[in-house]
Amino acid sequence: MIRMPLPFIGWLGRSSALLVVLLLLMLSFPSTGACMANAGEPPARLPDSSVNLLVGFRRGAAYDLYARLTARHMLRYLPGRPAFVVENKPGNALETVRRIYRANPDGTTLAALIPALYLAQLSAKGDPGFDLARLSWIGSPTKSHYLLYMSTKAPFKTMRDIRDSSTPPLCGAGTVTTTGYYLPKLFEEILGTKFNIKMGFQEGPDTDAAVERGEVQCRALTIDGFFSHEPYPTWIKNNVVRIVLQTGGKRDARLPNVPTIHEVMDEFKTSAADRSLAKLVLASSDFGRPIVGPPGLPVSQVQTFRDAYNKAMKDPSLLLEAKNTPLAINPTTGQELEMLAKEVLSQPKEIVARMNKLMGK
């Protein structure tokens, strides 16, 4: 460090001396200014080569498309720019969350989850193998409400048609954690409609194929998922299905003529208790399509991933790419998801009991 003679400092006076000391300290740092710009804690060290991203859906499904879009643009803002390796493993959604829950908290593994896992945790009689409150929440690129589509070959055009019919429509679903199962069950509970549900479809496209074959008549899924890929645009064009309900607080711009569940609840004079149940079950739409890390991920790494995610969601290139594919971007931060997880897992026992009954638990 450069030193100044004491008489010179005394001549400058006390105030000037402080300025000189500060100037000398600044001169002792590299001239690039990089250190001053990053005076806080440096970005956490991440894996040098790759980060594994678990996706429990086939390639090309809406969950996969959102996960890949997010990962592609996040990596540009991660220190060292490690590659994302997407691992598609279609199957039970609970398997994916259990895998990330058991993963080493070293920054090498993230996962894209379905939004309704809190329902499975709340309804579990024993240890579900995960605790959403302990996950490291990174963010979600969208939060999407739901819709119920019906084959135009079926006689049902409205929810009142379904409620008044002596023969319930047959909807397709995977497991109890999928929207195809728990949304029709919710409608039965709060609207008095009846549905038969055929379970066991591995993924949404399998249910859609069954609709085309005439094996089932309806399916519940996210609005964004419906508008994100084929066969849905062709279905709408060819009048293969009609949308009979959406779950948002207001009508989606893409579904201006479809009533919301709140409009139907008003029409059917749904009770306050039933509306509270609907609020709990439909909170899954606020989780959207979250990306998470395992429990115990160092705070510095969590923040590094969150910062990269937040920057990616504002990146013009991501927004342009999403616009050209039609993937709606309506992001939620990791902090918001973390708070939401804690909130939904601390619901009153009576509401949880009704939800468990709805889920057949």
Quickly tell me which residue has 């399916």 as its tokens: 219
Instruction: Calculate the dihedral angle through the C-alpha atoms of 208, 178, 331, 136, rounding to the nearest 10 degrees.
Output: -140
Tokens at residue 325, please? 């594919």
Are residues 20 and 109 located together in one domain of the fold? Answer: no
Q: Which amino acid is at 226?
A: F
Count of the separate structural domains present in the chain: 3
Are residues 188 and 309 located together in one domain of the fold? Answer: no
Whether 40 is covered by a domain: the verdict is: no
Are residues 224 and 194 located together in one domain of the fold? Answer: yes
DSSP summary character for residue 154: S
Q: Which amino acid is at 99?
A: R
Whether 116 is covered by a domain: the verdict is: yes
Q: Which domain holds residue 247?
A: 146-281
The CATH code of the domain that includes 72 is: 3.40.190.150
Quickly tell me which residue has 């996040």 as its tokens: 74
Tokens at residue 292, please? 């998470």
Are residues 65 and 10 located together in one domain of the fold? Answer: no
Tokens at residue 103, please? 């993963």
Are residues 154 and 221 located together in one domain of the fold? Answer: yes
Are residues 79 and 20 located together in one domain of the fold? Answer: no
Alpha carbon 117 to its chain centroid, in Å, reads 11
Whether 35 is covered by a domain: the verdict is: no
Whether 157 is covered by a domain: the verdict is: yes
Residue 203 to residues 124, 174, 263, 290, Cα–Cα distance (Å): 23, 6, 30, 18
Are residues 239 and 158 located together in one domain of the fold? Answer: yes
pLDDT in tens, the chain (361 residues): 333 333 333 433 444 443 333 333 333 333 333 332 333 455 566 666 799 999 998 898 888 999 999 999 999 999 988 889 999 988 778 899 999 999 999 999 999 999 889 988 998 888 999 999 999 999 999 988 999 999 999 999 999 999 999 999 999 998 887 889 989 999 999 999 999 999 999 888 899 999 999 999 999 999 988 988 889 999 999 999 999 999 998 999 999 999 999 999 999 999 999 999 998 999 888 899 999 999 999 999 999 999 999 999 999 999 999 988 878 899 999 999 999 999 999 988 899 999 888 776 6
Are residues 255 and 181 located together in one domain of the fold? Answer: yes
How far apart are alpha carbons 155 and 218 in whole angstroms? Answer: 12
Range list of β-strands (E), the chain: 50-55, 83-88, 109-112, 136-140, 146-151, 170-172, 196-198, 218-222, 241-246, 291-293, 332-333
Phi, psi angles (nearest 5°) of residue 284: -60, -30
Are residues 226 and 163 located together in one domain of the fold? Answer: yes
Whether 42 is covered by a domain: the verdict is: no
Are residues 188 and 251 located together in one domain of the fold? Answer: yes
Euclidean distance between the first and final Cα of the chain, in Å? 71
Whether 358 is covered by a domain: the verdict is: no
Whether 253 is covered by a domain: the verdict is: yes
Are residues 171 and 265 located together in one domain of the fold? Answer: yes
Residue 30 has a pLDDT of: 36
Query: Which one of 251, 281, 311 terminates a domain?
Result: 281
Are residues 169 and 193 located together in one domain of the fold? Answer: yes
Whether 251 is covered by a domain: the verdict is: yes
